[in-house]
Structure 1
Amino acid sequence: MASNALHPQSQSRQRIKFDEHLPVDHRLNTVYRIGAGLMGLFLLAFGVLGLTDNIGFFDTGGNTAVGLNTNGTLSVLSVCVGVLLFVGMVVGGNFASTLNMVLGVLFILNGFLFLGLLDTPQNFLAFRIQNVLFSFVVGLLLMVFGMYGRVSSSLPHDNPYWRARHPDAEAPDEERARPDQVR
């Protein structure tokens, strides 16, 4: 019960409202947008190239696009996720960050799922090992882009996520910027 000693019941927990603490023009917004845009562009290109080959919707043959195995279902799914990432890029901010993290986790889980389904009749997306590896890489990249500047044990005190987690705390004297200093 040591955690009760650190967090007494009488102290109410405050919900973090990131939207109020993250300005639209914050520099982290650019990272979230670039990550969503780059991954969305590649997935959209992969999906469109896969659809132009007129392959079967659930065909598990050896059709490839950009070096990855594909079928109609995977191509349509790639286009949809690519468009979703482009929407995240346009919206930006916390939406893009959260979208990147969620889709990153889903890509990694998808990689593990289809790693287990390789060479089985249940492999309806026609995955091969290169698709599994691609899914892992895209998942990790999306998670890094989404978590950048948001998750760390040593966030700077001017970070909006640090300020949201510590609303009553002030930045230490050495980190407070004077009005005449430019960062």
Structure 2
Amino acid sequence: MDLDTTRSADPRLAIVHRIGAGLLGLVLVGFGVTSLFVRLPLFDTRGEVVAGLTTNGALGFLSVAIGSLLLCAMVVGGTYSSTVSVLVGAGFIVSGLVNLFLMDTANNILAFSMPNVIFSLVVGIALLTVGMYGRFTGGLPHDNPYRLYRERRRDRRLSGAAR
């Protein structure tokens, strides 16, 4: 799927996509940096509690990396910010569900506990909401860039089928 990059996204949509990705990115980077200052073992399955969540070195590094990706998406903006928010949000939901099953096993390499699972699901839903805002809905206004892109794509398909 190719997005139309010649036309910038609606400024109102871009603000929502950017601010949402940026705020959640800052939260993740803050949590990751705080947990890295504690100098925890990399793959400790018990972890230590930092900011109400259990963490280890691996989760700290992962939080900084994903938070940085969201901050980069905030800087780039437009459809990139929206797409990154949706993909990372889906990843958080999958991670929360997978780690829910791994919590009390030796495979809990990210030291997840129930607050971590809840946090992961909440952040995933928030990122999905921010990323999908103004993009995946039925009642988009006529000047919405995502609607215009879909209409042009549909028109090209129909004109190609009429030949």
| TM-score above 0.5 | yes
What's the counterpart of residue 149 of structure 1? 134
Q: How does 1:61-80 map to 2 (within 5 A)?
A: 61-80=46-65
Q: Matched residue pairs, number?
A: 154
Structure 2 counterpart of 1:17, which letter?
L
Structure 1 residues not aligned, in runs of 5+? 1-14, 170-183
Identical pairs, percent: 47
What's the counterpart of residue 176 of structure 1? none
Structure 1 counterpart of 2:133, which letter?
Y
What's the counterpart of residue 27 of structure 2? 42
Query: Residues 100 and 117 of structure 2 are in contact (CA less than 8 Å); yes or no, is this contact kept in structure 1?
Result: yes
Runs of 4 or more above 2 Å deviation = 15-18
Structure 2 residues not aligned, in runs of 5+? 156-163
What's the counterpart of residue 56 of structure 1? 41
Tell me which protein shows more helix as a share of its residues. Answer: 2
Q: Give SS of 1:39's match.
A: helix
TM-score by length of 1: 0.79
Shift of 1:165: 1.6
What's the counterpart of residue 20 of structure 1? 6
Distance 1:34 1:65, change over 3 A: same
What's the counterpart of residue 95 of structure 1? 80
Structural RMSD (CA): 1.7
Report the Cα distance in structure 2 between the residues aligned to 1:164 and 1:62, rounded to whole angstroms. 47
User: Rg bigger for which structure?
Assistant: 1
Structure 1 counterpart of 2:130, which letter?
F
TM-score by length of 2: 0.89
Report the Cα distance in structure 2 between the residues aligned to 1:166 and 1:24, rounded to whole angstroms. 15
